[in-house]
Structures are given as structure tokens and as C-alpha cells.
Chain A
């Protein structure tokens, strides 16, 4: 079955540091890939997405590129802020599955950014 593996957290950085959160996946079909962010006390929010190989999703300074050859979708940001402190989830949606829009999530990575 489909699966998503994220780098283990928690991750602690200083403000303005460079961020990378690794994400790799296995899927039977040609999935769409997503990064969701969860701020304390809130639900998950879509951060960015990519639907085909070499697509780059971007939002709020975050980027991730769909790499089919390495089955990866690593999240990056050049300069993090304290307000980026949250839990980040990598996810995939596999249209080959009969389940349609079902998402497979990674375990989540807690990011803390210190001033």
C-alpha cells in the first residue's frame, strides 16, 4: 500500500536558519503530493501541493519539488521565522486507488523556531 515517511522530529532552529524537512513516499500510482501545516490548537491547513513530476509547490516562502526519480517531496524554507513553529505533515493522494481523495499522511514533524 501507499506510505509516506518523514524525517523524525522535533526540529529546533534559530530564526533565519534554513529549513529542510525530508519526505519520501511509496505509491502504486502517480500520486499528488501535499504539505500540510498544523498550528497549535488548530486543524491542518494546506501549505503547498504538486501534482506531477518536477512540479514545484510554493507558499509563504516554503517550497517543495516533486521528484519522481527519488520518490521525494522535501520541504524547504530559506529563512524561518518564529511564526513558522508548527507541525508539518507530508501527504499523498493516489488516484490509482479506488479510494479517490483519501490522503496518506506522514507522521508529522514538530518545528520550533527560537528568536
Chain B
């Protein structure tokens, strides 16, 4: 089975530009998570969805960040306008919940974002 697929793998853009990161979760998974990883702050949960509905976006840094999940097989994380401090690796992960058991999250390979 294909894992979580993220695109692009690398993105370099200038400050002020709009950035869109994409994620395709594993088929059948009903949870989708967006994380940001930096040396300074480690791994941070930005937002997560359940059945395409945003459940908790308290980790989104500010209004410049937005995330959508228009269907079960696709999600985007958008930064507009981008700033140098947004430079990080952004991960998408998906999982499913069966009964009362929490199944492990499966991570994509990440998008390495550099804002100049």
C-alpha cells in the first residue's frame, strides 16, 4: 500500500509569496494531521482533521496559516504571506481509529520549506 504522500519535497520561495503544501493520506484513514518541525521548537502539531472536518487548529501559528481537507484523499496547508520564520519541515500524517484503540500515525516524508 502507498504511504502518506506529500508534495513538494522541497520548496524554496521568497518572503511574501504564497506557499501551498499538499498531502494525500493513506486510503481508509479518517484522521489527518499537519506538523511542523524545527530545531528550536521540535515537532509541533498544527491542526488535525477527522473525516475531513477540522477538529483542533489551536497549533496554527497565526492567520497566515490555513488548512483544508476538501475530501478524504487530499489536504492542503497554505501560508500566505510567507515569512522567513516559517522555514521548517512540514509533515503530514494519517491514522484510523478502530473501536477504542488508537492506531499509530503514519507520516509522510515531509516538505522542507525555505523562505528567503
Chain A residues within 8 Å of B, Cβ to Cβ: 32, 34, 36, 41-46, 49, 51, 89, 93, 95, 99-103, 105, 107-108
Chain A residues within 8 Å of B64, by CB: none
Contact of B91 among A34, A44, A108 (CB under 8 A): A44
Q: With A99-B55, A101-B95 as known contacts, state yes or no: A107 contacts B105, CB within 8 Å.
A: no
Judging by beta carbons under 8 Å apart, are A45 and B100 in contact? no
- On whether the beta carbons of B102 and A42 are closer than 8 Å, the reply is no
Q: Which 10 A-B pairs have the closest CB atoms?
A: A43-B107, A93-B102, A46-B104, A44-B107, A101-B31, A101-B95, A101-B102, A43-B109, A32-B102, A101-B97
Chain B residues with Cβ below 8 Å from A100 are 31, 50, 55, 97, 102
Please pick, from A45, A101, A108, the residue contacting B107 in the complex, using a CB distance under 8 A: A45
Neighbouring B residues of A46 by C-beta, 8 Å: 104-106
Residue interface bits B5-45, CB-to-A below 8 A is 1, else 0: 00000000000000000000000000101000000001101
Interface size on B, residues (CB 8 A): 26
Question: Which residues of chain B (40-94) have a CB below 8 Å from chain A?
Answer: 42-43, 45, 48, 50, 55-56, 91, 93
